Each structure stands twice: as structure tokens, then as C-alpha cells.
Amino acid sequence: MTGGEKALDFARPKHPQEVAMQARKRFTAEGHLIDSGILTKLLNLIIEEGADYEIAELKVGKTELLPSSLELDVMAATEERLSDLEKKLVRLGCYGKAAPEAVFKPAEKKACVPDDFYSTTNHRTEVFFGGGWHPVGRQRMDGVIVKAPSGLVCKKLREVEPADPVLCGSESVRVFPPELDRQGSSFGFMENPVSSERSVKLLVRDLAEEIRGITGRQGKIVAVVGPVVVHTGGIPALSGLIRGGFINGVLAGNALAVHDIETAYFNTSLGVDKDSGRPTREGHRNHMRAINRVNRFGSIRQAVEAGDLTTGIMYEIVRKGIPFCLAGSIRDDGPLPETATDMIEAQRRYAEICEGAEMILMLSSMLHSIGTGNMIPSWIKTVCVDINPAVVTKLSDRGTSQAVGVVSDVGLFINALAEQLGCLAKGPSRPGE
């Protein structure tokens, strides 16, 4: 061994209690800590981080609906390690008992904030200042919190303006992770958030009930839709849901509109005849012919208004006047005139359409579903349908009990849902129907 090398240390790592715990702080948490598994996560996290704890008080809710409350002292080797651990505890809804006044520091310049900025989760969040807790608006993950004249708001880094007061540190923050739904909603029973083909029928029935409830109280439901919906025969079903008023916003890419319009004009998707399932002669040109025909009118909307595009998903969207955004991608042909190729603008529009939604139906687009999942708060109910279990798990696993995953062919799923909701048209929709 040369002088510059260091001997490997095979010594047994010290048990937390053998390390001198110099720093100590009282924390508190409230909610359904036990059956939501939050208590276990908190205690495991403390031990994994080489710290230790003493539970000062644990009051368990006497009934299923009553919350529990916890006070615990957390000990760490140094103040610095305790502060690092606190940032992780806060994300689980456990915060310092005596919260200090929040510190806001001015942004150095556009899109550049002080290094100790607080990075947001998608859970409901409050910040302590002026002697009270204040809610944060436009909650989303991977943002910063800015104190605006209208109140606290989450902003993406790129939205931060010079001198914006940016929240720094996590000592004055409390976060409320979602808990299991006990209010009798059909999302409550879905203990196992990923359903396989076998249980899809039952799930669709409960989901239809949930959708009826939301629609009945004028709530908002947004669909994220991939082109597979078209390829698997989902056009009449999704058109029916839009026509029936069950969908209040659509987020998709260029391909959904291209293949939907290809079907409307030529009865093919990707050149395959919708009735016979056989490739048609020169069918590979059809999606380009569809784009070309829309370009002739100037936009999808104008093609509908001119009476040229008379059926399909895009037709129903335009006719119903619901907001939609087609976000561009590097795979796009055309793209169609309405496709937003400026990605920042597309993200802004997606977030705007999601604002105030109660439910998001994510139908077989990994790209656009993940993009949407990143911008919505954790309390929005999400339903993720994909044939690939890995995609469903990824989309459902957003730290919320409000996500339901369905491993299924999306054509079968959307048809079953439209049938349950009584809006499965016999044939393609026609003007005046």
C-alpha cells in the first residue's frame, strides 16, 4: 500500500445508539398514520439515516375515521445531519413542532434561485410565517415556492422572475400526503392499485359510478389519450364519452389526431382497414393524406367547421368545444396545425387544462401520461390504463392512494366504460346526432 492509499474499513458499522447523538428536535405528525403506513415509513427512515427516535406521544384515532397524532424526538449525530433528515421527514408529513418563521430569499435572476431552495412534492403543502400556516397554490412536484402578492404559489424554475421571494429550507413547511380514502368512494376499495384483466369488469363498473358522481356535480374529468385508442377500435367509445359530457378536456400528441382523422377520412388507421382488419392498397399514405387534407383547411377546427371532418374523436372535441392540447414529439409526422411544438407552451397548456380536474383518465400513452402525472397534485384521482404492467405501476406509483392502475387492452377498457355509462353509439358519430 502506498502512502496516498487508505486502508479499507471492515469494522462493523456503529449501531445508531453507539453514535453520540448531539442534535435533538421534537417533531409532530397527524393523520391516518397507522393504516396508511406512514408511521412505519417515518420510523424506518429515521433508522436508515443513522439517527434515532423516542416516541413522546402517540394518540391512536379511536375510530376508522378519526386521525392519529404523533410527537417524537429525533436524535442525530450532528445538527447538519438532523437538518438533512428533516427535509425527508417533511415529505412524509412530519414536521418540527415549533416551526420557525419561513425564510424567503430573492431569486438571483430569472430561473435561478438560492441553493437552499425548498423543492416541492405533489402533496398539499403549508408554510409557516406571520404566526400562522399558509396554503400553497398550484401544487405540483419539482417546483419552488414563491411568495406572491396573491399568496404562496408553486413555480417551475423557468417561471421564476428576478427577485421573486423564494422559500428556502424545509423547517417551516408541512406536507399532507394523501391517505386511504375512507369516504366510501370507489377508489377506497382498490387496496391493490393495479388490477389485472380478470377484475377489469368490476373495476369499470365502480369507475363508471365514480365518473357519474363527478359529472353530476359538474366536476372536471380530463383524458390523456394515446393513438392506441384508435388502433384498438376505441373511437366510437371515446367519441360517445365526449358527446355524453363525461370528458371535459383532452391531452394527447399529434398521432392521436392524425390516426383519428385518418379513420374519419379513409376508414383506416395506419393504413389498416377498420372493418376487415386488412392492410389497404397504398394505405401507408393515408395518414399523410389526412394531414394534407387538414392543412388545406388550415386547422382541424376549420376542417370541422367547413363540414369536411364529420366524425371521430377530434370532431367531437371541436363540436363539444372542450379544451384540448396536442403536444408535439420528435416522432411526429406533419405535425397537424394544432400540434404545439414549443414544449414549454405545451406543458403550460397541459397544466392549464388539468387545473381543477377531479379525475384524469390516462389511456395508453406512456409519454403524455407521465408528463401529465408530473404536473398534477397528488389528490387528483388518476386511472392509468396500459397493456404493459410496468407502465401501469410506474404511473400508479405516485405516492397516493388515489391512483388506480388497469392492465388491459385499452380498446376493451374504453368500450366497457362507455357501455357502462350508456354512451356507446352503434356506429360512428355523425353531425346532428
Which residues of this protein are in contact with ligand NAD, per CB under 6 A? 226-228, 232, 253-255, 258, 287, 329, 331-333, 364-368, 386-388, 391, 409-410
**E strands, 272-336, in order:** 272-273, 324-327
Shortest Cβ distance from residue 293 to ligand NAD (Å)?
15
- Report in angstroms how near the CB of residue 280 gets to ligand NAD at its nearest: 17
Q: How many other C-beta atoms are found inside a 10 Å radius of the C-beta of residue 320?
A: 16
Choice between 193 and 328, CB closer to ligand NAD: 328
CA–CA distance, 224 with 206 (Å, rounded to integer): 20
The H helix count followed by the E strand count for the chain is 13, 21
Cell numbers representing residue 304 in the block: 370541422
In the complex with ligand NAD, which residue's Cβ is closer, 34 or 366?
366
Cβ-based nearer residue to ligand NAD, 117 or 350: 350
Type of residue found at 368: H
Query: Which of 155, 173, 29, 153 has the alpha carbon at shortest distance from 102?
Result: 173
d(CA 280, CA 286): 9
Residue (250 or 391) nearer to ligand NAD, CB: 391
* Type of residue found at 328: G
Between residues 125 and 369, which has the closer beta carbon with respect to ligand NAD?
Answer: 369
Task: Report the phi/psi class of residue 209: left, alpha or beta, with left for phi > 0 and alpha for psi in -120 to 50.
Answer: alpha
All residues at 6 or more sequence positions from 289 whose CB lies less than 8 Å from its CB, including other chains? 262, 265, 266
Nearest one of 400, 423, 428 to 179, comparing CA atoms: 400
Closer of 210 and 409 to ligand NAD (Cβ): 409
Shortest Å distance, C-beta 294 to ligand NAD: 13
Nearer to ligand NAD, 94 or 406 (CB): 406
Shortest distance in whole angstroms from residue 237 CB to ligand NAD: 13
Nearest distance from C-beta of residue 14 to ligand NAD, angstroms: 46
Q: Nearest-CB residue to ligand NAD?
A: 253
Minimum CB distance to ligand NAD, residue 254 (Å): 4
Minimum Å distance from CB 158 to ligand NAD? 21
DSSP structure class, residue 233: T
